[in-house]
Amino acid sequence: MATACITQTTFRFHEISRPVVARFDQPHASSDGGAVLLKAVDDRLGLTARLSEAIGDPRQPGKISHAVVELLRQRVFGLACGYADCNDAARLTSDPVHKLVVGRDPLTGEPLGSQPTLSRFENAVTPRDLYRLGTSLARTVLDFHQTRLAGAARLITIDVDATADPTHGQQQFTFFNAFYDTWCYLPLLATAAFNDERDQYLVAALLRPGTGAATRGVRGLLRRLVAELRARFPRARLRVRLDAGFAHPKLLDWLDAEGLEYVIGVPSNPRLAKRVQRLRGRARVLARATGETIPLYGETRYAARKWSHRRRIVMKAEALRYPGRATKDNCRFVVTNLRFSPTMVYAIYCERGDMENRIKELKAGLAMDRTSCSRFVANQFRLLLSAAAFVLFQTMQTYAHGTVLADAQVGTLRDRLLKVAVWIERSARRIVLHLPQSFPWLAPWRQLAAAVGAT
């Protein structure tokens, strides 16, 4: 609590003729006034309501001060506003805006859950709850886009990628990974892109131990996701894009059996290096003649020893030219069942690189890597909380089309739309949020508010 010695601070500047006094004495104010936009987006999407229904609550109803949906919203909206951990809950328990978006009276409502309360909540989730939560997350996102597109998707591209989540304690199933040279988890993330849109919408997040096969959990995740997509978009072609770490024979056979299109990177080996040799020689000759970097594309039929049959391999041979350096070869291989030209197939594969930006947003903006609980199940729950906050931001981006923030990432959306000072006034009939007239992003804020139903 604030004490008398810090309620008033005086700053003296040489350029100003009189002192500037800052008093922290406004009881019904917050620095997260824009969080009401998140609440409006969540109401349209129904995300936290559906997720809360997936969590079992064995507590006695007469002894409950915080409902599951309130605790879930406190964590998800807190993550969205930049409060990464349960320790930050102590700073938000009396914040009027956070009480408002959770569903309590902003002025007279009871305080929100404390750090111990939220920690108990995270550790009470069971593996069965996690399965239902993951299913609810995917269904909520896909239902929203089914409505948005009126079920008229021609092509849906599924991207799956893994990343390292370094750990620094005694977490369950954290192991030393020699490739990343650290103790870590290996979360697996899946996104879906519709038709020719560039946006990759997060639909699944699975925490995995720090070691093991790169394909661990991939088939199960894809099986459930494909079933959900086909139920909503029965006429759409489904395409899977993966990097070279996922080119496993069983996964390729499963993709063929399911009738899915796929574009998957393949690691180089002596046989492939021999087949690309002629293409690489042509690229080097052209690079020396022009002094520029030259990529050439070709294809071959190839079957690794454990593959069930020969498949089409698209090859890229690139001669890299840098001033003052010798020519450098860059050869890449992709296995695919697409019938497009090698150049187009490789261009389709390269688009999966944008998945790295989604991972960066989740880590830098929504603390996806704050998996510091000792129990593995609790850390999987934290990963899903970050995923839920990310889904809210991606839905906000969808509603922001046509504004200057249509392509903004999580950090920019938070700084420009959520982090705005507000003073709250309540009467018998309504609650009024007083926002500053000089707010620099007032125009897109108004547009977004209108798009999510404000009148």
pLDDT tens for 416-445 read 999 999 999 988 889 999 999 999 999 999
Residue 6 pLDDT exceeds 60: no
pLDDT digits (tens, 9 = 90+) for 112-130: 999 999 999 999 999 999 9
Residue 167 pLDDT exceeds 80: yes
Q: Confidence class of residue 18 from pLDDT cuts 50, 70 and 90?
A: low
Q: Confidence class of residue 192 from pLDDT cuts 50, 70 and 90?
A: very high
What pLDDT is attached to residue 3? 42
Could you tell me the CA-to-CA distances from 389 to 42, 123, 273, 315, 452 in Å, in that order? Answer: 10, 19, 44, 39, 17
Residue 24 pLDDT exceeds 90: no
What b/e sequence results for 72-102 when a residue is b if at least 16 CB atoms lie within 10 Å of its CB, and e otherwise? Answer: bbbbbbbbbbbbbbbebbeebbbbbbbbbbb
Q: Which among 390, 395, 386 is positioned nearest to 187, based on CA atoms?
A: 386
Top pLDDT among 455 and 398 is at 398
SS3 (DSSP) at 385: helix
Query: What is the dihedral angle through the alpha carbons of 418, 424, 426, 430, rounded to the nearest 10 degrees?
Result: -30
d(CA 383, CA 369): 8
Q: Confidence class of residue 2 from pLDDT cuts 50, 70 and 90?
A: very low
Q: Confidence class of residue 7 from pLDDT cuts 50, 70 and 90?
A: very low
Residue 62 pLDDT exceeds 90: no
What pLDDT is attached to residue 10? 53
Lowest-pLDDT range of 248-262, 301-315, 318-332: 318-332
Top pLDDT among 373 and 7 is at 373
What pLDDT is attached to residue 144? 96
What pLDDT is attached to residue 325? 83
**Sheet of 431-434, strand order:** 29-30, 422-426, 431-434
Please enumerate in sequence order all residues whose Cβ is within 8 A of that of 443, keeping only pairs 6 or more positions apart, or say none.
403, 404
Residue type, 333: F
What pLDDT is attached to residue 9? 52
pLDDT digits (tens, 9 = 90+) for 290-300: 989 999 999 99
Could you tell me if 287 and 375 are in contact, meaning their C-beta atoms sit under 8 angstroms apart? no
* Mean pLDDT score, 96-109: 93
Q: Quote the percentage of the chain above a pLDDT of 90.
A: 82
pTM: 0.93
d(CA 180, CA 403): 40
203 CB-contact burial (10 Å; exposed 0-12 / middle 13-18 / buried 19+): buried
Q: Confidence class of residue 16 from pLDDT cuts 50, 70 and 90?
A: low
* Mean pLDDT score, 102-107: 93
Q: Which among 362, 369, 366, 390 is positioned nearest to 174, based on CA atoms?
A: 369
Q: Quick count: other Cβ atoms within 10 Å of Cβ 285?
A: 12
What pLDDT is attached to residue 61? 85
Lowest-pLDDT range of 69-83, 143-157, 322-336, 410-424: 322-336
SS3 (DSSP) at 378: helix
Q: Which two tokens stand for residue 210?
A: 């720090």
The mean predicted confidence, pLDDT, of the chain is 92
Residue 22 pLDDT exceeds 90: no
Q: Which two tokens stand for residue 90?
A: 């102590």
d(CA 68, CA 53): 9
Could you tell me if 316 and 297 are in contact, meaning their C-beta atoms sit under 8 angstroms apart? yes
Stated as kind and residue range, the H or E segment containing 187 is none
Strand partners, 175: 184
Residue 46 pLDDT exceeds 80: yes
Q: Which two tokens stand for residue 338?
A: 């697409």
What pLDDT is attached to residue 391? 97
Q: Which among 30, 53, 26 is positioned nearest to 99, based on CA atoms?
A: 30
